[in-house]
Amino acid sequence: DAGVIQSPRHEVTEMGQEVTLRCKPISGHDYLFWYRQTMMRGLELLIYFNNNVPIDDSGMPEDRFSAKMPNASFSTLKIQPSEPRDSAVYFCASSLQGAGGYTFGSGTRLTVV
């Protein structure tokens, strides 16, 4: 298995632009998680899905952030409009029931200038 695949690896965008981050989970995994990592706040859980349904989005910072999972093999995290404070590394992770541990992707490093 190729693992959790995220794209792009790096994204540089101007303030106000729309940004879309993509994630392909491991085939057969039924949970998908989006995390954000910064030096100041560490790892923050933004949202997670079970069987493509959003379960908990309480970590989504504000309405500028949205996430979808149209099918079991694809998820997106969208920021519109982007702001410099959104600069961070965004990770996607998947699991077969969370208690078994997650498999993380390599992350997308987002820089908003």
Partner 1 sequence: AQSVTQLGSHVSVSEGALVLLRCNYSSSVPPYLFWYVQYPNQGLQLLLKYTSAATLVKGINGFEAEFKKSETSFHLTKPSAHMSDAAEYFCAVTPGSSASKIIFGSGTRLSIRP
Q: Which residues bind partner 1 (CB under 8 A)?
A: 4, 31, 33, 42-43, 45, 48, 50, 55-56, 91, 93, 95, 97-107
Contact yes or no for 28/96 (Cβ under 8 A): yes
Least distance in angstroms from the C-beta of 91 to partner 1: 6
Name the phi and psi angles at 25, rounded to 5: -75, 175
Integer CA distances (angstroms), 7 to 41, 56, 67, 86, in order = 23, 23, 15, 17
Residue closer to partner 1 (CB basis): 30 or 81:
30
* Nearer residue to partner 1 within complex by CB, 3 or 61: 3
Q: Is-contact 94 1, C-beta < 8 A?
A: no
Question: Within a 10 A sphere around the Cβ of 73, how many other Cβ atoms?
Answer: 15
* CB of 30 vs partner 1, minimal distance in Å: 9
For the bound state, the minimum distance from the C-beta of residue 81 to partner 1, rounded and expressed in Å, comes to 27
For residues 16 and 100, which CB has a smaller minimum distance to partner 1 in the complex? 100
